[in-house]
Amino acid sequence: MAATLRHRLPEDQMPFAALIVAAGRGHRAGGGIPKQFRDLGGKPLLQRTVRAFLDHPQLAQLAVVIHPDDTALYAAALQGVADARLLPAVQGGAERQDSVRAGLEALAGTDPEIVLIHDAARPFTPPEVIDRVLAGVAETGAAFPALPIVDALWRVEDGLVRHAEDRSALWRAQTPQGFRFGLILAAHRSAAGAAPDDVAIARAAGHDVRVVMGDGNNFKITLAEDFDRARRLMGDRMDIRTGNGFDVHAFGEGDHVVLCGVRIPHPRGLKGHSDADVAMHALTDAIFGALAEGDIGRWFPPSDMQWKGAQSEIFLAKAMERAADRGFRVNHLDCTIICETPKIGPHAADMTDQIARITGLSPDRISIKATTSERLGFTGRGEGIAALATATLVAE
Ligand code: MG
């Protein structure tokens, strides 16, 4: 039999619209504002959910249904998400069903073939689950992800176990629930009463609905402990980096040295292009190292005369700015100063305060310590000061 050439996309690879329902009040999770706008690891929960769909290559358009009181929260939650597929927010109704209906009516103008209706509070939907729902819709016209129940189920009455329930045919529903668009719009328009979800509405209109395999991480954030679970899940994916820095400056003419921004009287100064703050240079290089962005020399070339005599805090401030621009938070800084003189101990607290002022870190995340080299080597002979540092950065 000759192979058939496809002139159209297979149905399970057709573009789809997504409708994210974010109109709930969601106070069971605590926090004062509806849960979908709360922070989850540095981004609003809703933004994470929206991005999970925008990241799918077949997504053609996406609309979010919100409560009329949440216009400002919505704008803040999606600030910086610039994507032409994101349609203006749709105002929802009193019940979830009303909100979905409003969203479907809003999408009707864009004439989608397939729509996936999703809870705003499920931010971790894997692309494979979306793919399975799309394949189920292609086959049956309606499909949703669910998980089989693995725990034993017992019927309980008055606190006493009565009998075991057969769990083999029971599934736990998730979203996105996917439908041919015309099918679910017509089903909503003709729905007679309240239904728990869109699967129920499709079934009430006489349609078969296929179950596809869900995913354990595609859980709904409902209670405060679900936020903890979500943070732990993201912690597994956390981008944590360490960088090291090392610097040496030789003693020369002068009556003081500057270490971590603190001026310390000393019979000899340190030679250098800037203020020769060897400790702050090591800290700065550690941050640039964690970012894999070279060292101070790349950002502030010694050949550039404008840095002559500069206060080294501008270097450290620049490294902090680069970390923030790259989406990293500096979590901890540790610096060891190696010299016979001056004595560092009496100044360590002042140095910590200076680094805290420049970086915005709390002092308990800054470690400044010192050692001698037991009179060995160039530091032992009092020819100069060395410093090494470690920076720990965490992606936001
Ligand atoms: Mg230096």
Distance of CA 381 from the midpoint of ligand 1 (Å): 20
Q: How far is the CA of 296 from the centre of ligand 1 (A)?
A: 8
For Cα atoms 312, 314, 316, give the angle at the middle one, nearest 5 degrees.
80
Interval between CA 72 and ligand 1 midpoint (Å) = 48
Give the mean pLDDT of 76-99: 94
Identify the band that residue 94 occupies on the pLDDT scale cut at 50, 70 and 90: confident
Å from CA of 395 to ligand 1 middle: 27
The token duo for 233 is 């899940």
User: Is residue 262 helix, strand or coil?
Assistant: strand
Minimum mean pLDDT range among 10-24, 103-117, 145-159, 191-205: 10-24
- Ligand 1 center from residue 249 Cα (angstroms): 6
Residues 191-239: pLDDT tens digits?
A: 988 888 999 999 999 999 999 999 999 999 988 889 889 988 887 667 8
From the CA of 48, how far away is ligand 1's center (Å)?
42
Tell me the DSSP string of 294-309.
--HHHHS-TT-GGGTT
Give per-residue pLDDT as tens, 24-33.
Answer: 886 666 667 8
Taking a C-beta distance cutoff of 8 angstroms, is the pair 59, 16 a contact? yes
* pLDDT band, very low/low/confident/very high, at 1 (cuts 50, 70, 90): very low
Predicted confidence at residue 8, as pLDDT, reads 58
Q: What is the pTM of this model?
A: 0.63
pLDDT category of residue 6 using cuts at 50, 70 and 90: very low
Query: Which ranges constitute the DSSP H helices of the chain?
Result: 45-54, 71-77, 96-108, 127-140, 181-189, 198-204, 224-236, 278-290, 296-299, 313-325, 348-359, 377-380
CA of 293 from ligand 1 middle (Å) equals: 17
Per-residue pLDDT tens for 147-173? 999 899 999 999 999 999 999 899 999
Compute the Cα dihedral for 300, 303, 306, 311 and give only its sign: positive
Sign of CA dihedral 110, 116, 118, 122: negative
Structure confidence at residue 309 as a pLDDT band (50, 70, 90)? confident
For residues 317-339, give the mean pLDDT.
Answer: 95
Section 339-361 average pLDDT:
97
Say how many Å lie between the CA of residue 248 and the centre of ligand 1.
6
Measured in Å, residue 384 CA sits from the centre of ligand 1 at 12
Helix (H) or strand (E) holding 22, with range, is strand 16-22
Q: How far is the CA of 275 from the centre of ligand 1 (A)?
A: 9
- The rounded Å distance from CA 372 to ligand 1 centre is 19
